[in-house]
Chains A and B, each alone.
Chain A
Amino acid sequence: DAGVIQSPRHEVTEMGQEVTLRCKPISGHNSLFWYRQTMMRGLELLIYFNNNVPIDDSGMPEDRFSAKMPNASFSTLKIQPSEPRDSAVYFCASSKRERYNEQFFGPGTRLTVL
């Protein structure tokens, strides 16, 4: 059974460029989470979806960040325009919608903005 799939695994881009990170949750999971990991701030939740609907986006740092989940098997996190301070590892995780359920993490995307 495939786990959470993220692409790309590594992304290097220049300041000002648009970046799109992709996530495929585990089949049957209906909650999806985007996290960011940095040395300074650790692991922080950016946004999460239940049944494709954004529930809490209070962690999204600013308007340059946007996330979508057009269907149950796909989500994107877009940064436009990107800045060097966006350099981080971005994780996608999924779980079943029932409360307190275990979240399964993808391998992460390491983003470097030059």
Chain B
Amino acid sequence: AQTVTQSQPEMSVQEAETVTLSCTYDTSESNYYLFWYKQPPSRQMILVIRQEAYKQQNATENRFSVNFQKAAKSFSLKISDSQLGDTAMYFCAFIGAGNMLTFGGGTRLMVKP
């Protein structure tokens, strides 16, 4: 069974600065996808970024990028130039051959003005 661990329950960052959210996972599968989802107070789950395990290049989406370390089973999210609208819960998630998402416990990010 897969597990996803987010060790930072809460984090804060000043507006315009950079913050990194951590995620580790455990799996015996070699082919899988990893995701970061954002859940603002509206509770809508919004996909931020996706990484395919067989790709060595780290995914980027505008101000969001990941540091994917497959051997270490680590998948961190970096948010550059943080904005007030980035305030939300962030969930790391794994999907393997079973086609079912396994989520971490979440990190609550507060962006301060």
Contact = CB atoms under 8 A, between A and B. Distances in A.
Contact of B100 (A42, A48, A102, A108): A48
Contacts of A103: 95, 101
Contacts of A91: 45
A108 B91 contact: no
Contact of A42 (B32, B52, B106): B106
A105 B97 contact: no
Given A42-B106, A43-B91, A107 B99 contact: no
A81 to B, nearest CB: 26
Given A100-B32, A100-B33, A100-B95, A45 B100 contact: yes
B62 interface: no
Interface residues of B, number: 26
Interface in B8-35: 31-33, 35
Contact of A108 (B32, B43, B47, B50): B43
Given A43-B103, A108-B45, 18 more contacts: A31-B99, A42-B103, A43-B106, A44-B103, A56-B98, A100-B32, A100-B52, A100-B96, A100-B99, A101-B99, A102-B50, A103-B101, A104-B47, A105-B44, A105-B46, A107-B42, A107-B44, A108-B43
